[in-house]
Amino acid sequence: MRVNGEAFRTVWMEGTVVKLIDQPRLPHRFAIADQPTWQHTAQAISTMVVRGAGAIGATGAYGLAQAAQMAPEDGFHAAVAAAAAGLSATRPTAQNLFYGIRTVLRAIEAEGDNLPAARQAAVAAAEAVADDDAACCRAIGEAGAPLIEAGARISTHCNAGWLAFVDWGSALSPIYAAQRAGRRPFVWVDETRPRGQGASLTAWELGQEGVQHAVIADNATGHFMARGQVDLVIVGSDRIAMNGDVANKIGTYSSAVCAARSGIPFYVAAPTTTIDPDCPTGADIPIEERGADEVQFTWGWSDDGRFLRVRTTPDSSPARNPAFDVTPAELIAGILTEKGLVPATPEGLARVVRR
């Protein structure tokens, strides 16, 4: 994808440095954040300098490759194992993170004590994870574009565009494909409290691509659905259970319920790396709860160009901050993958899941 006409990926590696688009600075500043060690890379995942299922999957893979390059010969495998554990502990919900780390770890282990080969294999495996993510998301766009008719009005939640993956995105990829085909869709962009990834990231992406859109408060989505101003919903996912239940950013379930009430098809877009073969149902998905301060405070740019945090709740009021919720399979019209549209059923997922 392009930023002001220049091609970028969300994450890549140069030498032993992992490079990330610094997402908390968007949409007002575009900057690249360098991560010199795997510990810095892990911290970037935890603090959401990088976020989104596919993007943190590739970042975790690059982080482990980074650790393999810098691990000492004496105790190499122990150092790699410690890095894998540290990277895995950064965020608990997104399946792609564990997939990326596991893929690189297997490549390292396959080389045994041939450490030069193990270091080389780690980088190659991480690059393959990133390339696969980008290719899958492009294929999701091609598979999903036929769902979008000329002038279609689409609702989405959070950010499942190219910033959430290595390139193209999942939920936004069909929209980009339809836009480039001349169908000019319109997108309702939920702001996505408390971190505002819709308002800051999705809106910025759509603007870069020239897609018509409007940012709305999260609790306005049902209003526009009820008034017949939404034709379909496409959201992403951080983990898909084998029964078709889907975990995505908090507020997705509410959107799905409103869509069902209004008779609007609700699609989930995700690469097959997001499907967890060891997770039977949505009840088995671990739901990350982040710090209360994300609800109690809001970040933004002041008129004089400062990036400031302001409190929006009473000092004495506690807060809860679940980062994800689970949408049950019966509310989902289908899951868009790189292998096409599949039903949100055990049989449908069994045909495409990676093990």
Concerning whether 238 is annotated as a catalytic residue, the answer is yes
Buried b (16+ CB within 10 A) or exposed e, 80-96: bbebbebbbebbbbbbb
Backbone angles phi, psi at 267, to 5 degrees: -105, 150
**How many other β-carbons are positioned within 10 Å of the β-carbon of residue 63?**
33
Q: Catalytic: which of 132, 167, 238, 245? A: 238
**What is the C-alpha to C-alpha distance for residues 283 and 214, in angstroms, rounded to an integer?**
34
Torsion of CA 328, 329, 335, 341, to 10 degrees: -170
Pairing mode, strands 307-311 and 297-301: antiparallel
Longest dimension (CA), the chain: 66
DSSP helix/strand/coil, 128: helix
C-alpha 235/C-alpha 239 separation (Å) is 12
CA distance 153 to 232: 7
Residues belonging to the active site: 238
